[in-house]
Amino acid sequence: MKSSTIPLRAKTTWEKISGSNKKIDFFLPLMSLPIDEIRDTLVKAAVPGCRILLKAPTGSGKSTSVPPFLTSKDASEVTLVIEPRRMAARLLATWVAKQCAGEVGQHVGYAVRFDTRYGKNTRIIYLTDGVFQRWIQDDPELRGVSTVIFDEFHERRLAVDVALARCLNLQDSTRMDLRVVVMSATLETAGLADYLGEKTVALETGGRTYPVQVHYRPERAPAPVRSGFPPRDTPIWERIAAVAKEAMASADVGNVLVFLPGTYEIRKTCELLENASFTRGWDVFPLYSSLNPRQQEMAIAPSERPKIIVSTNVAETSLTIVGVRTVIDSGLARISSFDARRGLDTLHIHKISRASAEQRAGRAGRTSPGQCYRLWSENGHAHRVAFDAPEIHRVDLAETMLLLKAASVNDLANFRWLDAPLEPSLQRALVLLAQLDATDAEGKLTEHGRVMACMPVPPRFSRLMLAGLEQGCVAEACFIAAAVQGEMIFTGKGNVSRKDFHFPGVGTDFAAEYYALQSAQNLNFDPKACGSAGISGRAARELAQGYDRLLALAKKLSWPVSSLDFFGNQTAIGHAMLAAFSDQLAIRLNAGTLACRVSGNRRGKLDDQSIAKNAEAFIATEMTEVEGRETTVHLRRATAIDIDWLRELFPDEIVMTDGVAYDDMRKRVVARKETKFRDLSLECKEQDQGVNLSMAAEMLAERVLSGELTLKNWDESVEQWTARLNLIARVMPELGLPGWSHEDRVAAIAQICHGSVAYKEIKEAKVWPVLNDWLNYQQHQLLEKYAPEWVKLAHDRRAKITYPAEGDPFIAVRVQHLFGTWETPRICGGKQAVLVHICAPNQRPWQMTKDLHSFWATGYAQMKKDIAGRYPKHAWPDDPRSYVPPPPNK
pLDDT tens by residue, 105-155: 999 999 997 789 999 889 999 999 999 998 998 899 999 999 999 998 988
Contact 412, 165 (CB under 8 A): no
Average pLDDT, the chain: 87
Judge residue 482's burial from the number of C-beta atoms within 10 Å of its C-beta, 0-12 exposed, 13-18 middle, 19 or more buried.
buried
817-836 average pLDDT score = 95
Core vs surface per residue 757-791: b (16+ CB within 10 A) or e: bbbeebeebebeebbeebbeeebeebbeebbeeeb
Residue 387 CB neighbours (<10 A): 15
pLDDT in tens, 537-551: 988 998 999 899 999
Give how far Cα 707 sits from Cα of 289, 699, 701, Å: 51, 13, 10
CA distance 360 to 366: 11
pLDDT category at 791 given cuts 50, 70, 90 is very high
Q: Positive or negative CA dihedral for 545, 550, 553, 557?
A: negative
Phi, psi of 425, rounded to the nearest 5 degrees: -70, -40
pLDDT category at 593 given cuts 50, 70, 90 is confident
pLDDT category at 168 given cuts 50, 70, 90 is very high
Nearest to 581 by CA among 645, 517, 659: 645
CA distance 872 to 867: 9
Q: What is the pLDDT of residue 2?
A: 39
**DSSP E strand stretches across 452-494:** none
Residue 457 DSSP symbol: S
Contact 183, 56 (CB under 8 A): yes
pLDDT category at 6 given cuts 50, 70, 90 is very low
Reported pTM? 0.71
- Which of 395-399, 576-580, 608-612, 704-708 has the largest mean confidence? 576-580
Q: Where are the alpha helices (DSSP H) in 78-157?
A: 86-99, 129-138
Q: What is the pLDDT of residue 24?
A: 42
Q: Positive or negative CA dihedral for 506, 508, 510, 512?
A: positive
Task: Pick the more confident residue, 683 or 159.
Answer: 159
Helix (H, G, I), strand (E, B) or coil at 180: strand
Task: Give the up-direction half-sphere exposure of residue 96: CA atoms within 13 A in the CB hemisphere.
Answer: 31
CA distance 662 to 672: 9
Q: What is the pLDDT of residue 188?
A: 65
Helix (H, G, I), strand (E, B) or coil at 491: coil
The continuous run of DSSP H or E covering 429 comes out as helix 423-435
Q: Please state the three-class secondary structure of 210-252 as a single string.
A: CCEEEEECCCCCCCECCCCCCECCCCHHHHHHHHHHHHHCCCC
CA distance 441 to 455: 23
Q: What is the pLDDT of residue 206?
A: 75
Residues in Cβ contact with 190 at an 8 Å cutoff, skipping those fewer than 6 apart: none
Contact 620, 584 (CB under 8 A): yes
Is 80 exceeded by the pLDDT of residue 615?
Answer: yes
525: left (phi over 0), alpha (psi -120 to 50) or beta: left
Q: What is the pLDDT of residue 61?
A: 83
Least confident of 436-445, 618-627, 635-644, 653-662: 618-627
